[in-house]
Structure 1
Amino acid sequence: MLGEFIDKNAEERFFATYDAILRKWPVPAEELDIETRFGPTRVRSCGPEEGPPIVLLSGGMGTSLSWYPHIAELAVRHRIHAVDSIGEPGRSIQAAPIESTEDCADWLAEVVDGVLAGTGHEKAYLAGVSRGGWLALNLASRTTDRIAGVVTVEAAGFGVIGRSFIWWSLREIFRWFLPKWFLRLMSSGDPDVRHTVRPLLLAALKYKQRLPEMHLFGDDELSSIDVPTRIVVGERSVIHDAPAVAARLGSLSPHIRVEVVPKATHGLSLEKPGLVTARILESVREHHADATE
């Protein structure tokens, strides 16, 4: 079974909204369709071609456009590749079922191979939010042949996602309908971003996903990751116990560094976008410097 919109009208409304938000992309970009065995995957590439490549993976239903507030700074010295994940609403076109976590890893590996082809770069950095973080770790725990490093923000895979996440999501969506001045008082981050992405998220709810469940990472999987990995979690996350995640991973692998952000929730990338951008740039700068010494 393939992911699909519930009807043609829902699809058309989604892409009209998608194209409107795309106009906010702050720098010139090249649209690429990378062929994979699961279908062509849309990647938006920008920044200097000689810069260290960073592959950006969004949260569920987020699309590559969720990264637009971060792009101007990220693309100054790096080649950025923002991905519309296959099997989710976006410009990628699913052509074959994704039935397992192995399929998820195979798809992402093909995307990374595609963005690196002909560039002269042998490896890329992966940065992912929520489900995007899970996708990055899911691949890195299997192979790091083409991965230079990983940064995740509130990645799934460290706790069972249940009712608390649903209630948090409903409250968060409600806030997005508040006037900007009131939203600024209630939540950290830029209210303009929430108001911008709100219609796309609502339109995406009419897309039927048919993806495998995101499994919880075992110690063996995580300890097998042999590239520098920074895992950023919110102290008030509703998808895992952040202090427990930090305690567990802190002694699991010398390659993994964990940061718990005080007072942050699962919406960390919206609440503290500057911190997210900074952590990606810091990680790439540190790891790239080490690799070239």
Structure 2
Amino acid sequence: MIGRFKSARSEERYFAAYDEIAARWPVPVQDLDVGTRYGPTRVRVSGAAGPPIVLLSGVMGTSLSWYPHVAELAARHRVFAVDTLGEPGRSRQTRPMPTGEHCAEWLADVLDGLGPGKFLLAGVSRGAWLALTLAAHAPGRIAGVVAFEPPGFAPIGRRFLWWSVREVATWFDPRPRAAVRRALRPLLFGGLRFRAHHPPQYLLTDDQLRAVSVPVRLILGERSVIHSAREVEQRVKALNPLFDVEIVPRATHALPLQQPELVTARILTANRVPPAAAPPGPSPRSTPRENPSSG
């Protein structure tokens, strides 16, 4: 099935919030609709040159969740922030993606639409799972992966559900340290009116982890509720020498919100493709769209 909003009014309110946040994008931006076999995918492009980075958000995060990071990243890189197909956002799904392999095909189509060369993939939570899924199935267009708190290493149970309830409560925190939450809050709550149809986030098998042939950096929260960080570290290091693991003390699954500076720094210091391999610009499959936040 294909995700959709519960009502036209819900969709209208969501995109009003989306456009308001998009206007705060801190650097010049061009919006592209990249053609894929599963529907056009919205990508926000910033940065004039430099090795290319594709940013993949967590559930309901959209490309806009990267606005605290994009200014520093775009100063050194060509940055492509993606609205994940099948979730609320400006991408428009036209065909179901019932399995992880279909998700990998979609993401491969996005990379093909962005131009030649190899891309560093940086993902948060489900976005990190998508990056690892593509790396396991078709790593040819990938220079490396930076994965923050990816699922796929242990079943997600009630502990995560209870943690999620408590985490949502923090989005009402009025204190200055919650500025990012306040900015993105209308998008999060508006996204709750979207009926998403995600494929199961399957557990990554040993064979899949062995098949990854590009450098991968896993950044895990010491207090994560979706897996044991130490067990993940031991497993991937035993299976594949290309995996590097960092466990962030006291961090939870909300690590990107708790330590946004760390997220930016780890992406900047990850394995990069040479500047000559960076895509020169959108391919003919990508259709530029005017955006009021450009400039």
TM-score, length-scaled by structure 1: 0.92
Q: Tell me how far apart the structure 1 counterparts of residues 261 and 200 of structure 2 sit (CA, whole Å).
A: 31
Cross-structure match for 1:259: 246
Give the Å deviation of 1:169: 1.2
Q: What one-letter code is carried by the residue in structure 2 that aligns with 1:77?
A: R
Cross-structure match for 1:185: none
The one of 140, 144, 163 aligned to 1:149: 144
Cross-structure match for 1:82: 81
Give the Å deviation of 1:156: 1.1
The one of 193, 208, 223 aligned to 1:221: 208
The one of 159, 164, 171 aligned to 1:164: 159
Cross-structure match for 1:15: 15
Cross-structure match for 1:176: 171
| 1:1-293 equivalent positions in 2, closer than 5 A | 1-48=1-48, 50-116=49-115, 121-180=116-175, 190-285=177-272, 288=274
Give the Å deviation of 1:284: 3.5
CA 146–68 in structure 1, closer or farther in 2 if over 3 Å, else same: same
Q: What one-letter code is carried by the residue in structure 2 that aligns with 1:108?
A: L
Deviations 1:173-211 (A, max 9, x none): 112212215xxxxxxxx4100111111111101100112
Deviations 1:203-231 (A, max 9, x none): 10110011211000011101111111101
| Percent identity (aligned) | 55
TM-score, length-scaled by structure 2: 0.91
**Matched residue SS, 2:239:** coil
Verify the 8 A CA contact 2:206 2:239 in the aligned structure 1.
Answer: yes
Q: What one-letter code is carried by the residue in structure 2 that aligns with 1:52?
A: P
Q: What one-letter code is carried by the residue in structure 2 that aligns with 1:265?
A: T
Q: What one-letter code is carried by the residue in structure 2 that aligns with 1:215?
A: Y
Give the Å deviation of 1:81: 0.2
Deviations 1:61-116 (A, max 9, x none): 11011110000100001000000000000000011111111110000000011112
Verify the 8 A CA contact 2:84 2:91 in the aligned structure 1.
Answer: yes
Q: Tell me how far apart the structure 2 counterparts of residues 230 and 174 of structure 1 sit (CA, whole Å).
A: 30
Cross-structure match for 1:186: none
Verify the 8 A CA contact 2:41 2:82 in the aligned structure 1.
Answer: yes
Give the Å deviation of 1:288: 4.5
Q: Tell me how far apart the structure 2 counterparts of residues 24 and 273 of structure 1 sit (CA, whole Å).
A: 17
Matched residue count: 277
Q: Tell me how far apart the structure 2 counterparts of residues 123 and 240 of structure 1 sit (CA, whole Å).
A: 30
Relative contact order (C-alpha < 8 Å, sep 6+): which is higher?
Answer: 2
Q: Tell me how far apart the structure 1 counterparts of residues 234 and 196 of structure 2 sit (CA, whole Å).
A: 34
> Which segments of 5 or more consecutive residues in structure 2 lack a partner in the other structure?
278-295
Verify the 8 A CA contact 2:215 2:271 in the aligned structure 1.
Answer: no
Q: What one-letter code is carried by the residue in structure 1 that aligns with 2:14?
A: F
Aligned-CA RMSD value: 1.5
Cross-structure match for 1:184: none
Q: Tell me how far apart the structure 1 counterparts of residues 271 and 46 of structure 2 sit (CA, whole Å).
A: 17
Q: Tell me how far apart the structure 2 counterparts of residues 205 and 199 of structure 1 sit (CA, whole Å).
A: 10
Q: What one-letter code is carried by the residue in structure 2 that aligns with 1:163?
A: R
**Matched residue SS, 2:226:** coil
Q: Tell me how far apart the structure 2 counterparts of residues 147 and 175 of structure 1 sit (CA, whole Å).
A: 35
Verify the 8 A CA contact 2:43 2:81 in the aligned structure 1.
Answer: yes
Q: Tell me how far apart the structure 2 counterparts of residues 288 and 218 of structure 1 sit (CA, whole Å).
A: 31
Give the Å deviation of 1:253: 0.9
> Which segments of 5 or more consecutive residues in structure 1 lack a partner in the other structure?
182-189
**Matched residue SS, 1:283:** coil
